[in-house]
Chain A
Amino acid sequence: MRMSSREVSSSEIKTTQPALTPQAFLLAKTKWRWPEVAFWLVAFSLIWLMPNRHLLLNEIAILGLFALSIDLILGFAGIISLGHAAFFGLGAYAAGLMAKHGIGEPVVGLLVAGGIAGIAGFFSSFLILRGSDLTRLMITLGVALIFHEIANRMAWLTGGADGLLGIIIPPILGQFEFDFRGATAYTYSLVVLFLLFLLARRIIHSPFGLSLKALKDNRLRAGTIGIASARRIVAIYTLAAAYAGIAGGLLTQTTAFVSLEVLDFARSADALLVLVIGGSGYLYGGPIGAIFFKIMKDGLSALTPAYWLFWMGFALVVLVLVGRDRITGFADRLFAPVVALFGRKAR
């Protein structure tokens, strides 16, 4: 489906804008559109607009970043993973252990969390170079289960099933103390998400990012035109693992607690679900899916604490059946007057 729509759009370009060179076309793609700007402006303005939902917003930002990291490998390199929580959890424990043993400065903690997860990602990326999607699913799942069991067994280090206790997180850069209402936490997570998003956006529009897309579409063909596929997969997998590690680090630092759940299979699955909701391959799928997912979860579980899973499942089935294209299409129609006001049509 995606292939065909792409073909249509490229033919559109040829007929309507014959003067556009490939360079200009690619450059045009990197330009910021106003809805993107609006998205981030709204996200940042919520720091002031919604002071009593900061904790939920913080979770959304973290889940959004985690889903973004999966989007990097799924949406751009076509690698499907069921075990991304391994890197999330590794980052979470790295940040937690550092804070517990005295090096609590959050920014340093995040860098180390990302670094360690990245290293683990680098080494495990060699496992997913060969094989089909199904093999990759199994391998990534297996890696995550191994990490989970290691964390469970090494109770002297990780606290095992009881969780890592006694984490104290000092102020960010020695300036901003984590407050009870979660304002600092949300601001911090959002800034990290935004910076990493900018980096991801830069990367996917670079020649490297374009070569990844070629890989995703047809690996054999990409190979014949001289793209070293293995190296690129290793690189993007490492990067995605580092992103996941940073997301995990954020969770630890903003909740001052780590337990085995950070490595749970459910966490990987949730993030994939978020991408299904938000759509993969255009970077906003993670953050938007996370907003949907968390608000739905929070709203439903507040209504019926015991049976919300049913409604959640029901909503997801409907969502997939109706298709997200139609939902975003609905949004298009809904906002058509606004778009017209700005003097630019949405398409």
Chain B
Amino acid sequence: MTTRRSIIRAGLLGSAILTGAVSYAPMAMAQEVVKIGLILPMTGPFASTGRQIEAAAKLYMAQNGATVAGKKIELIVKDDTGTPDVTRRLAQELLVNEKVSVLGGFGLTPLAMSTVPLATQAKVPMVVMAAATSMITEASPFVTRTSFTLPQAASVMADWASKNGVKKVVTLVSDYAPGHDAEKWFADTFTAAGGKVEASIRAPLQNPDFAAFLQRVKEAQPDALYVFVPSGVGATVMKQFVERGLDKSGIKLIGTGDVTDDDIINGYGDAAIGAITAHHYSAAHPSAKNKAFVEAFKKASNMRPNFMGVAGYDGMHLIYEALKKTGGTTDGTKLMDAMKGTAWESPRGPVSIDPETREIVLNMYVRKVEKVDGELYNVEFSTFEGVKDPAKKKK
């Protein structure tokens, strides 16, 4: 009687596993520890985001010690595989079981948005270190951000382009909220300055192949192609841009710095040289602080830090500073208040947290991809200081 036997086996096995799982519950925590939960995509297509931020956060702790205001800091890293319901579950478990005082990380907008209601409900600060859609910080008074917002980068890019002889532009963005942000804020700023957006192309986020879109761009013959795609996809765009001969037909490639991500730009090959982007961080940023940061980061993790890495580093700094201000109190509201208005010198230059919007205020740089000592870098040549999120300035 196969069925009967297997049912019995199954029942036994199931009960065994379930009872075994009882002992699997995590242990209770000690008193003088402040736990920080980092939820990041460590596997899957956005793994590089997670690895950068984890490496940066660990580097910050190694450099600044694991004790702040008499409390020991414990960092708990969780992999959400880039799936929002997992992010939410992990956040909930970190809050309930580990009793974390601060949540950090969040690689993509949907991942952050799925967790925002929990932060509000539990009154725990949530430090967004990657996701760049403007609306995230508006969704809850317990959200702050140490990366950047796309409107910041996009408006600066448009500003620069309109002042530097670019009149006709085609925009090409990934079809999701950050892409829409990048498209809208570029177009708004650019048309306000007298430029013309010939066509706005949206490419699907999943399995992107840009060949057909780039053909359309070629036919439109604009002065420049403005691109926003998530970090990592940029390589495909650049390669196909050159393959289709767009570089030779006099079309400039401009975009937000996601396209020329420091972490991977070296693999792009010479196709990337000459691309102009606006962003808040380049590993080639000429400051002593950045040189030391890049050096230490490379040593610790064998990667070149990118804008995600620096945001993770600054995120940890913000949490440390807030704990110092509250004297180690982990009350969420007090921590949030302490974070507001904090200003510091980051490897990317001076940054601060806008006390009203909890959004980061930073310098935006216009950079050009060049070869430095045989490696490709984004070399900064123009600075826009103290850029606030334009999406929030309007209100």
Chain A residues at the B interface, C-beta cutoff of 8 Å: 2, 5-6, 9, 12-13, 29, 33-39, 42-43, 46, 49-50, 52-53, 55-56, 59, 148-149, 152, 155, 160-163, 165, 180-182, 251, 255-257, 259, 261-262, 264, 278-279, 282, 284-285, 287-288, 291-292, 295, 299, 301-302, 305-306, 308-309, 327-329, 331-332, 334-335, 339, 346-347
Contacts and interface: CB of A to CB of B under 8 A. Distances in A.
Contacts of A13: 1
B92 A180 contact: yes
A257 B85 contact: yes
Interface of B: 1-19, 21-22, 24-26, 40, 42-43, 47, 50-51, 54, 77-79, 83-85, 88-89, 92-93, 95-97, 109-110, 113-114, 117-118, 121-122, 133, 175-177, 204-206
A162 B177 contact: yes
What is the predominant secondary structure among interface residues of chain A facing chain B? helix
A335 B110 CA distance: 46
Contact of B6 (A12, A37, A163, A282): A282
B92 A284 contact: no
A39 B114 contact: no
B11 A39 contact: yes
Given A35-B7, A35-B8, A305-B54, A42 B14 contact: yes
Contacts of A261: 83-85
A306 B42 contact: yes
Contacts of B12: 35, 38, 331-332, 335, 339, 346
A261 B44 CA distance: 13
A279 B14 CA distance: 13
A295 B18 CA distance: 10
Nearest to A155: B175
7 contacts: A39-B10, A152-B204, A284-B14, A302-B78, A309-B43, A328-B9, A331-B12
B285 to A, nearest CB: 27
A255 B89 contact: yes
Contact of B85 (A46, A148, A251, A301): A251
B93 to A, nearest CB: 6
A162 B177 CA distance: 6
B279 to A, nearest CB: 22
A328 B176 contact: no
Contact of A291 (B3, B4, B18, B88): B18
B3 A282 contact: yes
Contacts of B21: 46, 50, 53, 291, 295
B183 to A, nearest CB: 13
